[in-house]
Amino acid sequence: MPHYGDFQNEIYLAGLSGVVPKLPTDFATLEARAAAAMPPHVLNYVQGGCGDELTQRRNSEAFGHWGMVPRMMVDSTSRDLSIELFGQRYPTPLFMAPIGVTGICTQDQHGDLAAARASVATGVPLCLSTLTNDPLETVAQTLGDQPGFFQLYTPRDADVAASLVQRAEKAGYRAIVVTLDTWVTGWRPRDLNTASFPQLRGHVLSNYFSDPAFRKLLPQPPEVDPAAAIRAWTKLFGRVLTWADMPWLKSLTKLPIVLKGICHPDDARRAVDAGAGAIYCSNHGGRQANGGMAAIDLLPEVVKAAGSVPVLFDSGVRSGTDVVKALALGARAVGVGRPYAYGLALDGAAGATHVLRCLLAEADLLMAVNGWPSIAAVREAGALRVS
C-alpha cells in the first residue's frame, strides 16, 4: 500500500541518477527562494502581516511550544490519514487555505488554476478565495471531480452576496467558508510603504466582474470602464456580520456554512447554536490583527467548545509536523497557506504540488516513526505544552 511518506524514496532514488529536487523540501529555504523570485508587491502581500507582524511570528513559533510523546511497539506500517468532513471522506486532513492573491502568484497570472491543478494532483482540497484572477466556475472546471470549498468575503450588497454563494453551489463547491475578520483590512506596513493594494489595480476581482448582480450595479461593463468597476467594488466590499446574520447566510445555500476566524470558545459555542456546519479557528495568519495570541494555542478550547461540530484550523502551519500537532489538538482538517503560495511562485502547479507532497510526507513519516497509524491514534497521544 503506498503512503505519502514514499515521496522521500522517490527523491533518494532519483538522487542515484544525480537528480535533486527542483524545489526545497524545507520551509525556510522555500521562502528564501520565493522571496528572491517574486515581484516585491506580490511578495509583500503574501509574506507580510499586520503591524510589526508579532502575531504572525507567534503563529509559527508557537508550534514549538507543543510536544508529542511517541508510542513504541505499535505496528504503524500502514497509516490512514483520511478524514470525514461534510459527509464525505477525504484522503488527507490537509487543505489549501484561501489566499486572496493566488492568481498573481504565478507568472501567467492564473495562479488559481495552478492551485486547482495541484489540488487534483495531490487530493488536497482547495479553499478558493473570493479574490481570484479566474472566475470560480473556471477554477471548478479545472478541479473537476476533486472537491473544493469557496471562501466568501461577504459583500455589503445582499444580492451580490447571494449571487456569489449560489454560483459557488452551482459550480460544485462543497462548503461556503465565511471570513469574519476582514470587513476592513488591517494595518499592513509592507503594503502601505509601497502604496500597493492589488485589488485597487484591478487584480483578483474576476468573481465580481463576472457576477451578474455586481454588473447590474455598474453604468458600464467592467470591460468598458474598469476604473468605475473597481470603485464600485471598494464601496461594496466588506459587510460587517453579526450573529443575527446567520439565518440569512444559511438561507442562501444548502451547503454547510463554515465560520472562519473563530478563536474564542464562547464564539465557538454561539456558532454551534447558530447552526454552523463547521468552525474555522484562524487569526488570518496574523494579516488582519496584531498583538494576539498564536492561533494554535487557542485551538484546544475552541475544539472543546465546538463539541461534535468539526473544527478547521490554519495560521502558522509551515511543516508536516505542524499539521500533526494541530490534529493532535483536535483540528479535523488543517489548512496551509503561504508555503503553497511560494510553491506556485517558483514553479506553478508543479511547485504547489511539490510543497503539498512534502507536507504530507513529513506528516505521514512522523506518524510512522512515532507509532500512530491513524489520526485517532494521533489524538489519543495528544500534544503537551512544553514551554
The pLDDT of residue 258 is above 80: yes
Cα 227–chain centre separation: 30
Examine residue 219 and state whether it is found in any structural domain, yes or no: yes
The answer to whether 103 touches 142, Cβ cutoff 8 Å, is no
How far is residue 226's CA from residue 212's CA, in Å, rounded to a whole number?
15
Q: How many domains does the chain have?
A: 1
Q: pLDDT digit string (tens) for 364-373?
A: 999 999 999 9
Q: What local confidence, expressed as pLDDT, does residue 387 receive? A: 76
Examine residue 1 and state whether it is found in any structural domain, yes or no: no
The pLDDT of residue 169 is above 70: yes
Span 9-38, mean pLDDT?
98
Strand partners, 259: 178, 279
Q: What local confidence, expressed as pLDDT, does residue 179 receive? A: 98
Examine residue 370 and state whether it is found in any structural domain, yes or no: yes
How far is residue 257's CA from residue 15's CA, in Å, rounded to a whole number?
46
The pLDDT of residue 167 is above 90: yes
How far is residue 121's CA from residue 357's CA, in Å, rounded to a whole number?
10
Structure-block grid coordinates of residue 227: 476604473
The neighbour count for residue 98, using CB atoms within 10 Å, is: 27
Examine residue 270 and state whether it is found in any structural domain, yes or no: yes
Q: pLDDT digit string (tens) for 283-322?
A: 999 999 999 999 999 999 999 999 999 999 999 999 999 9
pTM, to two decimals: 0.97
Examine residue 64 and state whether it is found in any structural domain, yes or no: yes
**Average pLDDT taken over every residue of the chain:** 97
Q: How many residues appear in the chain? A: 387
Examine residue 68 and state whether it is found in any structural domain, yes or no: yes
Q: pLDDT digit string (tens) for 32-69?
A: 999 999 999 999 999 999 999 999 999 999 999 999 99
Q: pLDDT digit string (tens) for 127-154?
A: 999 999 999 999 999 999 999 999 999 9
The pLDDT of residue 159 is above 90: yes
CATH number at residue 274: 3.20.20.70
The pLDDT of residue 185 is above 90: yes
Examine residue 176 and state whether it is found in any structural domain, yes or no: yes
SS3 state at 47: helix
Amino acid at 238: G
The pLDDT of residue 1 is above 80: no
**Has 284 been annotated as catalytic?**
yes
SS3 state at 54: helix
Q: In this prediction, what percent of the chain has a pLDDT beyond 90?
A: 99
Per DSSP, the residues of 99-152 read -TTGGGSSTTS-HHHHHHHHHHHH-PPEEE-S--SS-HHHHHHHHTTS-EEEEE
Q: What local confidence, expressed as pLDDT, does residue 2 receive? A: 78
Range of the domain at 274: 6-385
Examine residue 298 and state whether it is found in any structural domain, yes or no: yes
The neighbour count for residue 30, using CB atoms within 10 Å, is: 24
Catalytic site residue from 3, 41, 203, 284: 284
Q: What local confidence, expressed as pLDDT, does residue 12 receive? A: 98
| 132 phi/psi in degrees, rounded to 5 | -135, 160
